[in-house]
Amino acid sequence: MDNSVAAADGPGADPPARPASFVHDALFYRDEEEYLAGTMPFLRESLSAGMPVLVAVPARHGAWVSHGLGGEAKRVRFLDMTIDGCNPNRIIHAVLQAFIDEHPGRPVAIIGEPVWAGRSAAEYPACVQHEAMINVVFAGLAGTILCPYDSRKLEPEVLRDASRTHPTLVLRGTRTRSKRYTDPATVVADFNRPLPCPAHATAVMDFAGMGDLPRLRDFVCRHASGAGLPHDRAIDLQMAANEIATNTIRHAGGAGSVRVWAEDGHVLCDITDSGYVEVTLAGRLAPPLTSEGGRGLLVSNYLCDLVRLYSVPGFTTVRLFVRIS
């Protein structure tokens, strides 16, 4: 683990008692041995207590856990986080909440690894915001989410961010309170950053009302296909852009612009308007059934490989990413 993190968050105080309510721990590990040393006791204790258990981690790490549990592995739900959590904005709704909803009223035990070596620079801010938001969304949950972090392969700033988003840290069997833990709203705001300008020329179209949506859909699909997206994925991007543009028309003054371009193996689509998105969980949780709106970002997160949002009063950009291959 990075020395600066260890110095700030190491065993300087008595480990906090594991409460009966929600627990969100970061587990720092360096290799398979430390991964299993940090996860096996937690899993066996949870299984012995009859708790529903989910392990949502990269497939290689899931294989470590499955082998370590032996016959007990059949009692665990395994998901490959590189697939089910490839878009970090989907994890709360599609992975964590979905599992919790299957077991209403019961405490759950979850190992979730949303950050691994190989996450892109575009994905990472959404990962940190995700980890911060967990503390808000599941504050009333009687259960534990344990998040492994590879202290050998991940950058030091990633480990420092983990200590800001997890109230407690686990390092070589010692569980301590994180001295760097930060209010989730502050962390989310810290990563609400302007999106990088396109590296290449873009196709741009302005729109101003519902009557422009057919033209917008054709524009997005045509340029996405021209940039190399297969037809079905170009349609997914078209649908997502339509959802976001509809939000612009209904809630952000009606006028906006859309641009499409290819970059780093993805087709990207920006929808920009003069609105302001104040809900930090927008697109990560389903709105109440009685709500007439609020589903555009959620739908877009399911259609796209990544959705990034930058919003300040008077200016919002939603950036949609769809992988070409």
> Is residue 303 over pLDDT 70?
yes
Domain carrying residue 265? 203-323
Pair of tokens at residue 25: 């721990």
In the three-class reduction of DSSP (H, G, I as helix; E, B as strand; rest coil), residue 172 is classed as: coil
Confidence check: pLDDT of 324 > 50: yes
**In this structure, how many other beta carbons lie within 10 angstroms of the beta carbon of residue 201?**
8
Q: How many CB atoms lie within 10 A of CB 68?
A: 17
CATH number at residue 278: 3.30.565.10
Secondary structure (3-state) at 14: coil
Q: Based on the domain organization, do 97 and 150 belong to the same domain? A: yes
pLDDT(2) > 60: no
> Which pLDDT band holds residue 10 (cuts at 50, 70, 90)?
very low
Q: Output the pLDDT for position 194.
A: 95
**Which residue bears the tokens 């990633």?**
158
d(CA 92, CA 96): 5
Looking at the structure of the chain, the number of domains it has is 2
- Considering the domain architecture, whether residues 175 and 34 belong to the same structural domain is answered as yes
| Together in a domain, 158 and 208 | no
pLDDT of residue 295: 79
Reply yes or no on whether the pLDDT at 12 is more than 90.
no
Is the same domain home to 159 and 222?
no
Identify the pLDDT of residue 292: 56
Higher pLDDT, 315 or 291: 315
DSSP state of 92: I
Q: CA-to-CA distance for 267 and 321, rounded, in angstroms?
A: 6
Statement to judge: residues 31 and 116 lie in one domain = yes
Indicate whether 195 belongs to any domain: no
The CATH number for 72's domain is: 3.40.50
Pair 59, 108 in one domain: yes
